[in-house]
Amino acid sequence: MPAERRPRRRALLAAALAALLAAPVTANDYFSAVDLDGDDRISLAEFLERMGYAFGQMDLDGNDVLEPHEQHVPDAPRITRAEHEARFTAQFRRQDSNGDGYLSRAEFLAPPR
């Protein structure tokens, strides 16, 4: 990825996480909110579902595209739901440090790489 797109990508990830964390919660509550089946690990499907929730909240017209005016980032690029999911899939894989296809509590709560 070109260096000039990295700050925008990080800003978009931060905006999505901020939307998800609108109410004050503890780290354990946050993990539990994403661990939808309560098995103490987060699958890619669970991760995408929760990150998709933030996308849906920002997608004011419901067209599966975040236009610049719908985002919390100045001069943000237009992003489709498919692009959003691809970015979060890559983020999930980076955070899955042991490569088992799930995020443990420690992997999930670690700063994004």
Sketch out the chain's domains with CATH numbers. Answer: 3-109 (1.10.238)
Quote the pLDDT of residue 5: 56
> For residue 90, how many other CB atoms are within 10 A of its CB?
12
- Among residues 98, 94, 107, which one has the least CA distance to residue 35? 107
Those residues whose C-beta lies under 8 Å from the C-beta of residue 69, and which sit 6 or more positions away, are none
pLDDT tens for 20-63 read: 555 555 666 889 999 999 999 999 999 999 989 989 999 999 99
DSSP 50: H
Model pTM score: 0.70
